[in-house]
Amino acid sequence: MDGEILNNVKFSEYWKKPHEQWNFDTYRLFYLEKHPGASKQTIHSNFAIELKILNENLNQGRRKN
């Protein structure tokens, strides 16, 4: 993934993993390593924000091409 896009997300180290590993369960485990005791709602909200950022940036890149 483009480094410029990774600069826009909060947890770029998660998104550097192969995209086949991206899902809520792996994100939840990753997030809990960073923020032990975080609620499922908090994790879900952060995952949704990250996905929105990725979607906006990836779609923007497609429009440029």
6-62 residue pLDDT tens:
999 999 999 999 999 999 999 999 999 999 999 999 999 999 999 999 999 988 756
Q: How many CB atoms lie within 10 A of CB 59?
A: 9
| Those residues with Cβ within 8 angstroms of residue 10's Cβ, 6 or more apart along the chain or in another chain | 46, 49, 50
Check pLDDT > 70 for residue 2. yes
Please tell me the pTM assigned to this model: 0.82
CB 1 within 8 A of CB 16: yes
Q: How many CB atoms lie within 10 A of CB 26?
A: 12
Name the band, by pLDDT with cuts 50, 70 and 90, for residue 4: confident
C-alpha 58/C-alpha 40 separation (Å) is 26
Check pLDDT > 90 for residue 65. no
